[in-house]
């Protein structure tokens, strides 16, 4: 019977951080799409990131329990 191994806490922490990064990136990309639709042109990732961080980041983290 194969043994079940668990990942070290550091590895699980890294996975959790990466999942959080992916969720945040997805929120920024959605915001980029909305801003681009609103303005009628692609606003670019940097502009969307700056706007999202300024207007939505704190509320987004609170909603995620962070």
- For residue range 20-60, what is the model confidence (pLDDT) as tens digits? 999 999 999 999 999 999 999 999 999 999 999 999 999 99
State the total domains in the chain.
1
21 falls within a domain:
yes
**Residue span of the structural domain in which 56 resides:** 10-63
Q: Kindly state whether residue 30 falls inside one of the protein's structural domains.
A: yes
Does the residue 29 lie in any domain?
yes
pTM score, whole prediction:
0.80
Give the pLDDT score at 9. 80
In a domain, 2, yes or no: no
In a domain, 15, yes or no: yes
- Measured in degrees and rounded to the nearest 5, phi and psi for residue 8 equal -60, 155
Confirm whether 1 is domain-assigned. no
pLDDT band at 18 (very low <50, low <70, confident <90, very high): very high
Structure confidence at residue 41 (pLDDT): 97
Question: Is residue 52 packed enough to be buried (19+ CB in 10 Å), middle (13-18) or exposed (0-12)?
Answer: buried
């Amino acid at each position: 019977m194969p043994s079940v191994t668990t990942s070290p806490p550091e590895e699980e922490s890294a996975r959790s951080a990466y999942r959080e990064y992916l969720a945040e990136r997805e929120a920024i990309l959605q915001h980029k799409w909305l801003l681009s639709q609103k303005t009628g042109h692609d606003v670019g990732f940097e502009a969307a990131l700056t706007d999202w961080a300024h207007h939505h980041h704190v509320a987004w983290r609170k909603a995620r329990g962070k």
